[in-house]
């Protein structure tokens, strides 16, 4: 049982208990040092002597990745022959309606967008209990990437509202800006451009801190591992020398290396009303983007482009590919924003967006299939 598999087992138990934590949250807690992972053996009691083969298990030299832990989770569940997990219902934290609300708050988007995300969930059927509940003994056993799915829904809603073609979103921003200037006392309209500027600044700062923390991370443990009891003395002597050198260096530069350990939180960003430095968009309206159609509201934008026109064949390892240069800058920004938030690859999020779009726009995909078949027939 390796350390990554232990982490996967922990996630399985959290999933079984339907705890209010996603896989990305779990990995971030590991990253922030709240869950022992890299130097987990240092927390072991003194009587536990680790050497030899133990070094291969506990000498971790890389951070856990989302995809790796996700795959290991399914592998362990299958190996243990676990029964169907407790149902993921609408009142469960892992349900897309709740997670979408959480991530809308996280990325400072209007609360009104939650109605639209709920509609997408309903139309695609991804909020159904059978779809969301993990069943390891099923023929095609796979657990839903709850957090990735939720942010993918938000990406789709943003595309429905703003198209994200590097044109319409800025036109709508101009309209919102003019309205807000004339009607300062009324509820402000959501301005995509202003939101983009606020989020870009915030995410750039967060990324810089994250990269600095990664660069400064000390991979050498205070309690070294050794191959055998014979090597113990040599290893500890070397470690003692390293520690002494670090102390001397810190004295010379007149600084003591301290690591700030923040309290664990499911939110990475905090947005408050009335903050002059960072605008909070939670209370902003979508009136400039929506229009009345009978008794219901619909988007002014009637266009939509599919993230993936053609999916890879079943024998291919990936469902779709993602090349940034093929997409608008707005779409790239949104994908990069959420990918960093969940610490996942941009291609993984793009794939999830494409899969949900496939469910949402069945007619469009069937048309593209027919066209491709007719072209092949002509050839």
Q: Give me 305's structure tokens.
A: 């482009």
What pTM did the predictor assign? 0.86
Tell me the pLDDT tens digit for each residue of 28-48: 999 988 988 887 777 777 666
Can you tell me the mean pLDDT for 110-133? 95
- The Cα angle at residue 64 between residues 148 and 212, in degrees rounded to 5: 95
Q: What is the pLDDT of residues 168-200, one digit of tens each?
A: 999 999 999 999 999 988 999 999 999 999 999
Q: Is the dihedral angle over the CA atoms 212, 272, 173, 338 positive or is it negative?
A: positive
Please name the helix (run of DSSP H) or strand (run of DSSP E) that holds residue 291, with its range, or none: strand 290-293
Q: Which residue has the higher pLDDT, 252 or 47?
A: 47
Computed over every residue of the chain, the mean pLDDT equals: 84
Report the alpha-carbon distance of residue 297 to residue 235 in Å, rounded. Answer: 69
DSSP 228-242: STTTHHHHHHHHHHH
Give the bridge partners for 293, in sequence order: 296
Tell me the β-bridge partners of 299: 290
293-333 pLDDT per residue, tens? 776 778 888 899 988 877 776 555 566 778 888 899 999 99
Q: Which one, of 320, 317, 325, 306, lies nearest residue 364 by Cα?
A: 306
The stretches of the chain forming alpha helices (DSSP H) are 3-17, 23-31, 53-58, 66-79, 96-106, 113-124, 129-132, 146-162, 168-182, 192-216, 232-252, 329-342, 346-360, 362-378
Q: What share of the chain has pLDDT > 90, as a percent?
A: 56
């Amino acid at each position: 049982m390796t350390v990554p598999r232990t982490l996967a087992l922990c996630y399985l138990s959290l999933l079984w208990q339907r705890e209010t934590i996603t896989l990305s949250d779990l990995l971030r807690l590991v990253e922030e040092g709240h869950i022992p992972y890299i130097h987990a053996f240092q927390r072991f009691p003194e009587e536990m002597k680790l050497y030899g083969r133990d070094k291969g298990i506990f000498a971790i030299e890389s951070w856990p990745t989302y995809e790796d832990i996700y795959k290991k989770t399914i592998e362990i569940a299958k190996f243990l022959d676990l029964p169907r997990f407790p149902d993921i219902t609408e009142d469960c934290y892992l349900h897309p309606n709740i997670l979408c609300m959480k991530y809308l708050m996280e990325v400072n988007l209007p609360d009104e967008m939650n109605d639209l995300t709920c509609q997408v969930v309903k139309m695609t059927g991804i909020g159904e209990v059978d779809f969301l509940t993990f069943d390891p003994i099923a023929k095609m056993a796979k657990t839903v990437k709850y957090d990735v799915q939720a942010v993918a829904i938000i990406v789709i809603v943003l595309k429905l509202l703003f198209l994200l073609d590097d044109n319409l979103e800025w036109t709508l921003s101009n309209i919102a800006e003019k309205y807000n200037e004339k009607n300062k006392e009324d509820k402000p309209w959501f301005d995509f451009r202003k939101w983009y500027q606020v989020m870009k600044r915030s995410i750039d700062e967060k990324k810089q801190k994250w990269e600095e923390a990664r660069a400064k991370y000390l991979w050498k443990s205070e309690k070294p591992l050794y191959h055998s009891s014979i090597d113990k003395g040599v290893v500890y002597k070397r470690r003692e020398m390293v520690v002494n050198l670090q102390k001397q260096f810190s004295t010379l530069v007149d600084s003591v290396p301290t690591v700030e350990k923040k309290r664990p939180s499911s939110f990475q960003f905090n947005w408050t009303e009335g903050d002059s430095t960072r605008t909070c968009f939670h209370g902003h309206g979508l009136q400039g983007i929506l229009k009345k159609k009978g008794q219901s509201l619909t988007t002014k934008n009637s266009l939509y482009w599919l993230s993936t026109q053609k999916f890879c064949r079943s024998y291919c390892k990936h469902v779709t590919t993602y090349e940034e240069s093929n997409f608008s800058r707005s779409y790239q920004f949104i994908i990069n924003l959420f990918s960093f938030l969940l610490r996942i690859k941009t291609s993984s999020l793009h794939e999830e967006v494409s899969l949900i779009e496939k469910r949402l726009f069945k007619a469009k995909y069937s048309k593209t299939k027919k066209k491709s078949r007719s072209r092949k027939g002509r050839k």
